[in-house]
Amino acid sequence: MSHNNDSDWVLVFGALLLGGAALAVWQFSTWVGLDMATGFTVLWRTALVIALVVVAVKVFYAELADIWPLAVAGVWIAWWPALDYWALQSGGIPVWAGFEGHDTSGVWWSNGYSKWGVTAATLGLGYSLRKLFR
């Protein structure tokens, strides 16, 4: 009776693929100064935004010129976990204590108002430029 399995290469290939992905996440995280979990989240979300843009252009025949502000805003939102991580690493200052008395430490660029403000500015300025140069 033989226990040789012809599909052992699938396990080896899967392990190599997983190891390569972990190496890529580690390199990216080290390059931008993040931990592995945050680096994975940022990479995953950025890849998702890029994939959605590709699907919109290739499948739904959207013009890239019409959706680029939305794509830039999506990439900006994908990087929010990195902003939170960097804010925690910087020590931060108390921004707002809240009604419950919880100390929300952070820096201005990690604040929700700043994040959403940059998102709104990106969309507004991007579509204004699109309309101006149409």
| Angle, CA 14 vertex, CA 9 and CA 19 arms, to 5° | 125
pLDDT in tens for each of the 134 residues of the chain?
556 667 778 888 989 999 999 999 999 999 999 999 999 999 999 999 999 999 999 999 989 999 999 999 999 999 999 998 988 887 655 555 445 444 445 688 888 899 999 999 999 999 999 999 98
Residue 119 DSSP SS3: helix
| Angle, CA 9 vertex, CA 3 and CA 15 arms, to 5° | 115
Please, are residues 57 and 64 in contact by the beta-carbon 8 Å criterion? yes
> Is the alpha carbon torsion for 68, 71, 75, 76 positive or negative?
positive
What are the residue ranges spanned by the domains of the chain?
8-132
